[in-house]
Structure 1
Amino acid sequence: MIKTLVYVLLVLMALCLSPMIIGQSGYVYIAIGDYQIETSLVTGVVGLIVFYFALQLLEWLIMLLLNIVLSSRYLPEQWRRKAAKKHTLIGALALAEEDWPAAEKTMAKGAEKGEIPLLNLFAAARAAHYQDNIAARDNYLAQAEKNPIAKTAVYTSRTRYLLKQGELAKAREVLNKLNPTSKSSAPVLKLAQELYLQQQDWQALKLLLPTLKKRQLLAEAEYDQLSTKTNSILMLNAAKISEAELNKCWHWLSKSERKQDELILAYAHGLVLYNHKEQAIKLISKQLIASPSAALFSAIPDVINAQDHEVRKLLTKLETTHENDADYQMCLAKLAMQQRDAKKAKVHWQNVCRIAPTNQSWLALAQVQEQLGENTAASQSYRKAANIM
């Protein structure tokens, strides 16, 4: 625009000045080889201007011809790219509608000349997976894997698909290629957690848990629950191997972990298994003094017997504070049955049925009442148990 304006101004200036210089003498003499040109100054200037405009026109015509030739040559390629965009858009809409056959078909077509073929290939693989078309899905992922920057995404997708198929061994092989560490992405770490849980690989999960906590990929309550479960199972598994493995597993725990009821009980069961019952009872007694809990009350009858009086004395001291605790009353009822004290057991089962009646508690009370010859009361307890069911 500015260039054209300059030309117009030059022409206007020439028109204004031409009357002033027409009457002036002067000429232009040009000699090129055997050719000679002699003309007036005004004619020479006008000729130069016309010559310049002619060159501009010639340049414009040449560029126009070149554009026409080039555009006609690459026109099919442009058409294909335009079609790829259209296919990708249709495929995205089909994915949103979960129209998997249409999504796979259009995304696969869009990948051929699309601007981001990897996006199309992953989308087509997802659509194929939801159609249970495993061969097509793996083919799309194999094409995407040819791009070096997509390898992590391909392995992650392949692991997730194999996990959903239930092919846990194959999924683990692919996950091992990702080598989950503290530097891995959040999706890889969450995928590793899910796979380890399904494979029940508690040792691998234990090594992964600190990273999950540090990266805040688990809520605190969820982390505590999963950590306790993992350590408990590892303790029970170690007890099945040897006493040395059991002790090693226990000493690997942190101080705070060694104060958890579930882990103390798991270690105590292992100690009993290797004839260290006194040590097990000491651990349970210490925890019972520090923080009596439902888990302890539930496990104590399985660890001690009628001859273990120390724990029974500790439990007796808690009677005033746990009078209305159903777990505590149930524990005392079971311990009374160990000593064949049916009358005492009846009292505690009655307390359980008063505090938190369940089908099992009414049945236990009915059985004790039958032992005591209280058949009418037993019948009523059986009836109440049936009503709860």
Structure 2
Amino acid sequence: MMKLLYVIGLILLLVGTVVGELIIKDPGYVLLSYQNTTIETSIWGLVIVATVLFVTLHLAIRFLQYVLERRRKINDWNNNRTRVRANRRTLNGLLALSSGDWQKAQRLLVSAADKAETPLINYLAAARAAHEEGLPDASDRYLEQAQKVMPKAETAIGITRAQIQLSRGQLEPCLATLKRLRGIAPRHTFVLKMLKQVYLQQQDWVSLSELIPYLQKNDVLKGQQLRELERKAYIGLMKETLDQLPAESDAPARIKALNKTWKSLPRELMNDSDLIASYVSLLAQNGSEDKAETFLSDAIYREWDDSLVKLYGQIASSNPAKQLSTAKTWVHEHSDNATLQLTLGRLSLLNAQWEQAREHFEKSIELHNSQETYNELARLLKHLDDTEGFQKLMKDNLDSVTESLPKLPLPAGNT
């Protein structure tokens, strides 16, 4: 180190000596003139002045940079400290929201919104808290603030607004919000799910049936859930078709409208037993029992279903003998079916075949204890004035019911 300083000092001494000799030998001459002012100096004097000015300016600039950098660091530290505090208040506000302390949640979330990293979350959460506290005006105001701080987050803000509107029971405003959101994000699963919920509450079966293909396409609903929604929508649609007809509409007009709606259903649903049962029941209720009987018997031939067989026994066609004959053709393959025996008993009643009805009811009970079949047989025995048979049936029915009761102490008496 000492050697290096020695070498540098020696070089500076040599340079100084050479420069000194040059200054003595030829100092040079410089004349600067501007308007009425002139400055005369040697060239070496000018070099020294320029050097001093350069060094002074350089040091001033470096000092100014140092001051500005320190100020920036202090500002960054203050801003970071403020942001950390705002984020902490936001976290505490969200925890208060989760624990149901709506007032505290609002206070913390709103106070931290201006300094938080994500003010949108603060205002949306505050809107939920205000809604839960029963302050609709405050809730709407926070949603407006959310729109101002992040206009591009229309989907997130709209979903929160729709959820609050739905919770308030404001179905029409909620539907308007969801339709606007669907225009922005047509495949958004949560928007589609909320639309489904609104249509269900409104019992808007037309709109719901139009929405179902999109629910399926975007995997909003699958399997059994989708099938149950389809049933509910299309059963409601058939009923709505009839309800919207003028009160003075005659039976042919009502049946025509019902048939048109039935044919508009997706083909794969036309074999659904619940939809078939609803369609047949509506046909029978509107004066088309014969068509209902024919349609229902065809459906049962295609695919056996106990619920449809039971319904067949409740259709009063204009030709009950033919209806009974049709049902008897099913006995060969379903002789031990309790539901079929119940249906045969009811159809026998329609044909005034009392003994045959009794036999079918009794066989149905042998195959399966059903309170409905007990009731049918009891009614028949009462009208046949078969007191002994009626009393025996009541006792058998009581015994079958009490078998499922817990074993408890009872008073002594007849058993």
Same fold flag (TM > 0.5): yes
1:88 corresponds to 2:90: yes
Residue aligning to 1:3: none
2:240 matched residue in structure 1: 237
* Counterparts in 2 of 1:102 and 1:354: CA distance versus 1, 3 Å: farther
Letter in 2 for 1:378: L
Which of 280, 284, 295 pairs up with 1:283?
295
Q: Which residue of 1 aligns with 2:141?
A: 139
| Map of 1:36 onto structure 2 | 42
1:333 CA displacement: 2.7
Percent identical across equivalent pairs?
23
The AA in structure 2 aligned to 1:380 is K
2:156 corresponds to:
153
**How many pairs are equivalent?**
374
AA of the residue aligned to 2:197:
E
Cross-structure match for 2:225: 222
Partner residue of 2:348 out of 313, 336, 339: 336
Q: 1:353 aligns with which of 361, 365, 385?
A: 365
Residues 209 and 227 in structure 1, CA contact (< 8 A), matched pair in contact too: yes
Q: Which of 203, 206, 216 is the matching residue for 1:203? A: 206
- 3-state DSSP of counterpart to 2:42: strand
1:256 maps to which residue?
268
Give yes or no for contact 1:366–1:381 (8 Å, CA) kept in 2: no
Q: Which moved more, 1:65-74 or 1:94-103?
A: 65-74
**2:311 corresponds to:** 299
Q: Distance in 2 between matches of 1:12 and 1:366?
A: 128
Decide whether the 8 Å contact of 2:293 with 2:317 is kept in 1.
no
How far is 1:100 from its partner?
A: 2.8
**Gap regions ≥5 residues in structure 2:** 32-39, 246-253, 406-415
What value does the CA root-mean-square deviation take over the aligned residues?
Answer: 3.7
What SS does the corresponding residue of 1:256 show, helix, strand or coil?
A: helix
Between the aligned partners of 1:352 and 1:102, the Cα distance in structure 2 is: 66
* Structure 1 letter corresponding to 2:171: L
* C-alpha contact (below 8 Å) 1:353/1:362 kept by paired residues: yes
User: How far apart are the structure 2 equivalents of 1:15 and 1:282?
Assistant: 122
| Equivalent AA in structure 1 for residue 140 of structure 2 | D
1:289 Cα offset (Å): 1.1
Q: Deviations over 1:39-86 (max 9, x none)?
A: 9xxxx9xx97x9987665433322233345667789876665444223
Change in Cα spacing, 1:88 to 1:244, as seen in structure 2 (3 Å) is same
Q: Which residue of 1 aligns with 2:398?
A: 383
Shift of 1:217: 0.8
Counterpart of 1:16?
Answer: 7
Distance 1:60 1:181 in 2: 54
* Partner in structure 2 of residue 5 of structure 1: none
Q: What amino acid sits opposite 2:174 in the alignment?
A: A
Deviation at 1:171, TM superposition (A): 2.6
| 8 Å Cα contact 1:362/1:381 also seen in 2 | no
Greater shift, 271-280 or 249-258, is seen at: 271-280
- Note if contact 1:159-1:175 (Cα within 8 Å) is conserved in structure 2: yes
Report the CA distance between 1:20 and its aligned residue: 5.8
Matches within 5 A, 1:78-117: 80-117=82-119
User: Which residue pairs with 1:310 in the alignment?
Assistant: 322
- Shift, 1:317, TM fit: 2.3
Distance 1:378 1:190, change over 3 A: same
Q: Return the alpha-carbon distance in structure 2 between the equivalents of residues 336 and 287 of structure 1.
A: 22
**Cα separation, 2, equivalents of 1:351 and 1:160:** 55
Cα offset, 1:245, TM superposition? 2.0
Q: Distance in 2 between matches of 1:19 and 1:181?
A: 80
Q: 1:347-373: CA deviations, max 9, x gaps?
A: 333344344424434333433344433
Is the CA contact 1:125–1:141 (under 8 Å) kept in the aligned structure 2? Answer: yes
2:379 is matched with which residue? 367
Q: Please tell me whether Structure 1 or Structure 2 has the larger radius of gyration of its CA atoms.
A: 2
Secondary structure of 2:334's partner? coil
Extract unaligned runs of 5+ from structure 1. Answer: 1-7
Structure 1 residues 311 and 20, CA, compared in 2 at 3 Å: closer, same or farther? same
Q: What TM-score results when the alignment is normalised by the length of structure 2?
A: 0.76
SS in 2 for 1:319: coil
